[in-house]
Amino acid sequence: MIKAVVDINILIRALIKPQGSVGPIITRLRHGMYTLVYSPPLLDELTAKLSLPRIRVKYQVELEAIEALVALMILRGQRVMPTRRVKVCRDPDDNVVIETALAGEAGYIVTGDDDLLVLKRYDSVRIVTPRVFLSVL
């Protein structure tokens, strides 16, 4: 089974616009085509961003949709606690994504963030765009 950390911004884009280019990330998770690796800090970031009034109002994100996404993550995901600290990203806030991938032995980090994509790989973790990940699936 493929294991991947999906960057929070990709999950948010997929939730806001399910018919968009990254929408299939959630659909394929729902169908069990990969295991989503996540950590409490990433889950906290997701819920915090989706709870922002400017996001909820602008994109008409209902509380039920947020709850459904979190429930899907719990159902089809693997919760991990990062123990290994890294300092490799230009944006220090992105290090937790790599730490989560390492803790869950994920093969992929799926992101649109150039600060992560520039790395291409960290240890055995490939850092790819949603398009590349969807083609792998």
Instruction: Domain 3-136: give its CATH architecture.
Output: 3-Layer(aba) Sandwich (3.40)
Of 34-38, 65-69, 102-106, which gets the smallest average pLDDT? 65-69
CA dihedral 61, 108, 45, 33 (to 10 degrees): 40
| pLDDT, mean of residues 80-92 | 94
Cross-strand pairs, 122: 125
CB count within 10 Å of CB 92 equals 10
pLDDT, tens digit, 9 for 90 and up, residues 39-65: 999 999 999 999 899 888 899 998 899
User: pLDDT tens-digit profile of 21-30?
Assistant: 999 999 999 9
CA distance linking residue 114 with residue 90, whole number of Å: 9
> Domain ranges in the chain?
3-136
- Which pLDDT score is estimated for 118? 96
